[in-house]
A = this chain, B = another copy of it.
Amino acid sequence: MSQDIPQKPKYFLISDAVGSLVNDIFQSVSVQFPTVDFDVTNYPFIQHDDMLLPILKQAKIEQAGIVASFINKDLNQIAEDYCEMAGIFYLNVLDQLMDQIVHQTNVKPSGKPGIRHQLDDEYYKRIEALEFAVNNDDGQQPKRFIDADIVLLGISRTSKTPLSMYLANMGYKVANLPLVPESRIPDIIYEIERSKIIGLTNDVNVLNKFRRERMRSYGIEDASLYTNDARIEKELAYANKLYEELNCPVINVADRSIEETATLIIMFFNSTKSQEIQ
């Protein structure tokens, strides 16, 4: 019944805060429908009914479904009632879990939007971690590895920088050190706690493709030394030998996204921490 499929299903994503959650949920679900072309509009920071009502009216006109993450109960109720009356889809992605916790604990939710991102100690820790990661990217200050929570080692194009920034955004102080066979490993690598070192590796063919693209972006079409397979293998062998020597966990980033590799790193980090506590 393809004539029944709206050409572009419309969705309005509404939040009384930043709206990253409702965006992430929509993205997680919509990527499961690669043949469907969605028409999505974001409405963050909708904290009063006089901001909400015009959006609801527009949704009715455009027959757009609404996916919301209202913490504010009144706004949630207004939107829910309006959508029911207008015959459009409404989902508050927080509702079911919220209801369950109220039911389980008998405690009322505080109702303040945006407090997931509040300016608390954790927040300042994150800012500090991001600054640390920027200042300790690419082995800039090996001495400061001592202050890092996590030290990433890897040859060129093993995602050291994006991984460092991603982990820093979660509050971890991350330093990274590029491994080059011709450079000396700073002594500090042998002095810091082994448990905070992670070795990154990659497949030869992925590295080759990655490096060619980078050279091309620099306007260099033929960069034989840097992208040569034998050279890459030499670098990888050098890195693997060091990882063995340090006896550190090694993660191959070849088929993993930053999120996936970061999650593995945190799993290693937490397992070491819990071993230390035991």
Chain A interfacial positions (CB closer than 8 Å to B): 1-2, 4-6, 9, 17-21, 24-36, 44-45, 65, 67, 69, 71, 89, 91, 93-94, 96-98, 100-101, 104-107, 109-112, 114-119, 123-124, 126-128, 130-131, 133-134, 137, 159, 161-162, 165-166, 168-169, 213, 217, 255, 257-260, 262-263, 267
Once A67-B97, A259-B117 are accepted as A-B contacts, the answer to whether A32 and B166 lie under 8 Å apart by CB is no
Are A101 and B33 in contact, with the CB atoms below 8 A?
A: yes
Nearest-Cβ distance from residue A133 to partner chain B, whole angstroms: 8
With a cutoff of 8 Å between Cβ atoms, the chain B residues found around residue A119 in the complex are 255, 257
Nearest-Cβ distance from residue A16 to partner chain B, whole angstroms: 11
Are B168 and A110 in contact, with the CB atoms below 8 A?
A: no
Are B93 and A89 in contact, with the CB atoms below 8 A?
A: no
Are A131 and B9 in contact, with the CB atoms below 8 A?
A: no
Once A93-B25, A255-B119 are accepted as A-B contacts, the answer to whether A260 and B106 lie under 8 Å apart by CB is no
Choose among B2, B19, B27, B263 the residue that contacts A18 (Cβ–Cβ < 8 A).
B263
Are A21 and B20 in contact, with the CB atoms below 8 A?
A: no
| A27 to B105 alpha-carbon distance, docked (Å) | 16
With a cutoff of 8 Å between Cβ atoms, the chain B residues found around residue A161 in the complex are 127, 130-131, 134
| A26 to B261 alpha-carbon distance, docked (Å) | 22
Are B101 and A257 in contact, with the CB atoms below 8 A?
A: no
Are B29 and A162 in contact, with the CB atoms below 8 A?
A: no
Are A257 and B114 in contact, with the CB atoms below 8 A?
A: yes
Are B91 and A100 in contact, with the CB atoms below 8 A?
A: yes
With a cutoff of 8 Å between Cβ atoms, the chain B residues found around residue A262 in the complex are 18
| A258 to B127 alpha-carbon distance, docked (Å) | 9
Are A105 and B25 in contact, with the CB atoms below 8 A?
A: no
Are A29 and B127 in contact, with the CB atoms below 8 A?
A: no
| A5 to B104 alpha-carbon distance, docked (Å) | 7
Nearest-Cβ distance from residue A107 to partner chain B, whole angstroms: 5
| A227 to B19 alpha-carbon distance, docked (Å) | 35
Nearest-Cβ distance from residue A71 to partner chain B, whole angstroms: 6
Are A127 and B162 in contact, with the CB atoms below 8 A?
A: yes
